[in-house]
Amino acid sequence: MALVIALSLVACSAAPGAPAAVRATQTAVPSRGAERYVAIGASDSVGVGAADPQTGSWPARVARRLGPGSTFTNLGVSGSLAAQARTQQSPAAIAARPTLVTIWLAVNDLNNGIGSTAYRDVLDGILAELVSRTEARIFVGNVPDLRSVPVYRNADPAVVGTQVAAYNRWIAETVAKYPGRASVVDLFAGSAELLSTATVATDGFHPSDSGYELIADRFIAAMRGAGIRLRD
C-alpha cells in the first residue's frame, strides 16, 4: 500500500474568539488514487476528544481512504469562528491547490451568538473563493441536533433546536448555489446515533473516537456519492 507523507496543520484547544496558532505535523496517508485533500474547520477537525487527535480526527480518518499519491492538509484550528477561518484558513487552503475540501464550521458561531444570516454570508464567501480559485470538490458538514449533546443539557431545547434549524437551512441554501462543486454532508439526520453517550467525549461536547468514526463515515458516503474514489 502506497504511503505519502503530507503536511498536516493542527492546533491545540483554544477559547472561541482566540484560535490557537497552527503547528506543523506529518501525516502518513495510505491511498489508491491521488487527491490533494484540505480540511477547514475547528476543534472537531483538529480531533479534540479523540485518543490521538492527529490520527483520530474525522478528516484524518477520511484521508486514510484516499488513493495513492494523495496528500492531506488539516488546517483546523480549535475555537475558530467561520469569519476567522475565512481569513486564516481559506488562503492556505487555496495555496495548497486542493482537489478535495471539507468544511465543518458552525457550532462555534452558534455558541457565540453569531446570527445564522451572518454565518451564511461568511460561508458563502469561503465557498465563492474556493470555487473561483481552485478545482476542488467541496463537502460542507451541517449541524447535528445539539439538543442531545450533554453540554447543552441546561439550555432551552426549543431555542437550541430553532438555532440549529436556521443554521442548517442557510447551509443548505448556500451550498446549493454551487451545484456540481459543493455538497452538504448531513450530520443532523439520525443525530441520536452520532450523539449517544458512546460517541461523545468525556468533556460532554466533542466527539469520541466512535463519534469521529461515524462523522467520517458520513463524509465518506457523501464523497462516494459524488464520485470521489476512496478505499474500502
Q: Could you report the per-residue pLDDT of 178-219, keeping only the tens digit for each?
A: 999 999 999 988 765 555 555 654 554 567 677 888 889 999
Looking at the predicted structure, is the pLDDT value of residue 107 above 50?
Answer: yes
The phi, psi pair for 217, rounded to 5°, reads -60, -35
Q: Assess if residue 132 is contained within a domain.
A: yes
- The average confidence (pLDDT) of the chain is 81
Higher-scoring residue by pLDDT: 97, 22: 97
Q: How far lies 173's CA from each of 23, 77, 181, 196, 201, in Å?
A: 34, 26, 14, 29, 31
Q: Assess if residue 232 is contained within a domain.
A: no
Q: Assess if residue 230 is contained within a domain.
A: no
Q: Which of 45-54, 117-126, 137-146, 151-160 has the lowest mean pLDDT?
A: 45-54
* 182, three cell numbers: 459543493
What total of structural domains would you count in the chain?
Answer: 1
Q: Assess if residue 231 is contained within a domain.
A: no
Q: Could you report the per-residue pLDDT of 60-99, keeping only the tens digit for each?
A: 999 999 988 999 999 999 889 999 999 999 999 999 999 9
Residues 6+ apart with CB under 8 A from 192: 145, 148
Q: Assess if residue 163 is contained within a domain.
A: yes
Domain with residue 157: its CATH number is: 3.40.50.1110
Q: Assess if residue 135 is contained within a domain.
A: yes
Contact between 178 and 138 under an 8 Å Cβ cutoff? The reply is: yes
Q: Could you report the per-residue pLDDT of 27-54, keeping only the tens digit for each?
A: 433 333 589 999 999 888 887 767 787 8
Q: Assess if residue 95 is contained within a domain.
A: yes
Q: Which domain holds residue 183?
A: 2-225
Q: Assess if residue 182 is contained within a domain.
A: yes
